[in-house]
Amino acid sequence: MAEVSADVVSADVRSLEELTRDAVAGAMAAVLPPELAGADPVIRRSDHADFQANAALSLAKKLGAKPRELADSIATALREQTAGRYGVELAGPGFLNLTVTDDAVWSQVATRLASDRLGVGTPQLGRRTVVEYSSPNIAKEMHVGHLRTTIIGDALARLLEHLGADVLRQNHLGDWGTQFGMLIEYIDEHPDAKWRASDLDEGDLGTVSALDGLYRLARAEFDADPEFADKARRRVVTLQSGDEATLAVWRELVAESEKAFQAIYDYLGVSLTSEHSAGESSYNRYLDDVAAEVEQSGVGVISDGALCVFFDDITNADGNPVPLIVRKSDGGYGYAATDLATIRYRIRDLKINRLLYVVGAPQALHFRMVFETARRMGWLTDDVEAVHVGFGNVLGPDGKPFKTRAGGTVRLIELLDEAVARARAEIETKPHMLEVDELETVARQAGIGAVKYADLSTSRTKDYTFDPDRMVSFSGNTGVYLQYAHTRIRSILRKLPGGADSEVKVRTDGPLAPSERALALLADQFAPTLVEVADTLEPHRLCGYLFSLAKAFTEFYEACPVLTAETDELRDNRVALCQLTGATLAEGLRLLGIATPERM
RNA sequence: GCCCUCGUAGCUCAGCUGGACAGAGCACCGGACUUCUAAUCCGACGGUCGCAGGUUCGAGUCCUGCCGGGGGCACCA
Global confidence as pTM: 0.94
Q: Write out pLDDT tens, residues A392-422.
A: 999 988 888 888 877 788 889 989 999 999 9
Amino acid at A542: L
Asked if strand B contacts A323 at the CB level, meaning under 7 A, the answer is yes
Contacts of A149 (CB under 8 A, 6+ apart): A133, A134, A135, A358, A359, A360, A391
Those nucleotides of strand B lying less than 7 Å from any protein Cβ are 1-7, 12-17, 19-21, 23-27, 35-42, 56-58, 69-77
Closest C1' nucleotide to A177's CA: B77
pLDDT at residue A201, rounded to an integer: 59
Amino acid at A342: T
Measure, in angstroms, how far nucleotide B71 C1' is from residue A392 CA: 9
Is the separation of the CB atoms in A235 and A187 below 8 Å?
Answer: no
Say if strands A51-53 and A95-100 run parallel, antiparallel, or are unpaired.
antiparallel
Q: What is the DSSP letter of A143?
A: B
| Sequence-ordered alpha helix ranges (H) in A16-91 | 16-31, 55-63, 67-82
Alpha carbon distance A182, A173 (integer Å): 18
Say if strands A95-100 and A86-91 run parallel, antiparallel, or are unpaired.
antiparallel
pLDDT at residue A208, rounded to an integer: 60
Q: Which long-range contacts (CB under 8 A, 24 or more apart) does A555-564 make?
A: A555/A515, A555/A518, A555/A519, A556/A515, A556/A516, A556/A518, A556/A519, A557/A488, A558/A515, A559/A513, A559/A515, A560/A513, A560/A515, A560/A516, A562/A492, A563/A492, A563/A495, A563/A496
Measure, in angstroms, how far nucleotide B39 C1' is from residue A473 CA: 9
pLDDT at residue A8, rounded to an integer: 47
Q: What are phi and psi of A115, to 5 degrees?
A: -90, 155
What residue has its CA nearest to the C1' of B16? A44
Q: Is the dihedral of CA A338, A343, A348, A350 positive or negative?
A: positive
pLDDT at residue A118, rounded to an integer: 96
Asked if strand B contacts A555 at the CB level, meaning under 7 A, the answer is yes
Q: What is the mean pLDDT of residues A288-313?
A: 95
List of A residues 113-132 with CB within 7 A of strand B: none
ipTM: 0.96
Question: What is the overall mean pLDDT for chain A?
Answer: 91
Alpha carbon distance A400, A302 (integer Å): 41
List of A residues 522-551 with CB within 7 A of strand B: 532, 535-536, 538, 540-541, 544, 547, 551
Closest C1' nucleotide to A467's CA: B12
End-to-end CA distance of chain A: 40
Considering only CA atoms, which of A122, A149, A121 is closest in space to residue A133?
A149
Q: What's the Cα-to-Cα distance from A414 to each of A104, A141, A285, A419, A548, rounded to whole Å?
A: 51, 11, 37, 9, 32
pLDDT at residue A30, rounded to an integer: 93
